[in-house]
Structure 1
Amino acid sequence: MFKTKESITNFVYSFGAAIVILGALFKMTHWSLGPITGNVALAAGLITEALIFLFFAFDPPKSEESYAWENVYPELLDETAERQPRKVVNKVENKELEVSLSSKLDQMLADAKLDVSLFERLRGGIDKFSSSVDQINQTVDVSASTHKYNEQLNLAASHLESMNALYALQLEHGQKQSEFSKKYVEDIQKSAAQSEKFNEELQGLTSNLNNLNRVYGGMLSAMKS
């Protein structure tokens, strides 16, 4: 498990950090485990942290020999190796290299039959494609406008249908109101006729009472005489 010094050091640091975290947790949550209260756990954690720092003070840092630089730079193993000067390319060689590259590029273009006329046709094709894309965009715009116009027409038709339904409802309500008013007038007329008949009957009753009073008065007069 502990094959190297670094593994032992890593275990000590990790184990001590776990004790410190548990001590802080016991203190903040006021936990207790038998005689181990929050204060005891926090004190144990802080003491452990102090011991870890003390142990770290006596842990020497790694030396340069611990890094195997020779695996990356094998020339470090050769103590007699000297610094190799960089090769500087003069202007003539650079120009020859440019000419060689240019000639190779021209040869490649010639082998691929890429001449000026081909590039002109390619440019013409790109221009035609661009104009076609513009026409498609215009068609799409017209289609979008037509779709929007159709939506507006459908919305207007829906509003008109709602207005027609409202008008029909209002007309039906008006007809019912007219029938109710007509019936109300008829009831008033009937009530007036009944009132007139009642008045006539009341007048007849009054006339009969007057006649009875006269007869009764005549009888009283006859009895007194």
Structure 2
Amino acid sequence: MSRLYGWGASIVILGALFKIQHYPFAGLMLVIGMVTEAIVFFFSAFEPLHEEPDWSLVYPELAGIEGAEPRKYDGGSRAITQNVTISNTLDKLLEDANIGPELIGNLSKGLQNLSDNAAKMADLSNAAVVTNGYIQHVESASKSVVELSQSYKNAAEYLKHDLSLSQEYGNSLKSAVTSMNQLSETYQKTAQTAKESLDVSSQFNSSIKNVTTYTDKLGESYSKNAELLTKAVEALEGNVNSGKTYSEQLNKTANNLMALNAAYELQLQSSGTQSDSTEKLNKTVGALVDNINDSLTNTKQYKEEIEKLNANIRALNSVYGNMLSAMNFNVPR
């Protein structure tokens, strides 16, 4: 239908252009344009009616402003109430997807929990930084212990080979062993602390996994909602496109009417000029009629005078005839 409207409008505009500019065959082009416009209007009657959505379902405050009456079509033979609107379609889609107020409430709570967890994750990130630093120190201590253990092994080997050490060296060795025991206890405590830190890290990883799982589920819900909203938006865009097509039709019709108004204005100007010429012609014809009337009057007078002259001539002929008769009667034979 849009192509029919476009082609028909172009032909109508060409007809108006030919008529306005007084091109050759302007009358024929104008007739073709008017016939084309009539055909376009005839086919526009078969175009489906534009469905107006019931916005009161989305905005309840609009209820009662305009009365919704059922539209009649199909030649006036039957009336079908257009109860299916975009809002009803969206509600039906949400109902089919089992998306109710409870799920939306849970979604809101989930978003709130996600926001809280994200805020807590900042603190956990700081704890992770501290934990990393602590682990680095533990690794350094482990390296030191390994080096010390290696030194202890070397010292033990040296002690095995040298049994002639003094008692002081033995006491020093005992002190060193005591220090080693203390260092071992410290290492065990450090290892236990590291283990606890690892447990905390494992719990943190579990929490992160739970949050990730919940986020995935939430993303799936978002995807489903996005698909539903996309379908609703596509339906709305279809109606918007139909509304745009209808507005383009109105704009084209308005342009055609403007062209016709311009043609009518030129016709009115030509009619005004023709009216002035007709008025002058009427005045001239009136003067001619007056002259003819005067001529008729003079002609009547001339006719009357001719009739009088004929009567006088007949009387004179009669006198002359009588005189001739008298003269002929007196002549001797």
TM-score (norm 1): 0.35
The two structures have a TM-score, normalised by structure 2, of 0.26
More relative contact order, 1 or 2 (CA 8 Å, 6+ apart) = 2
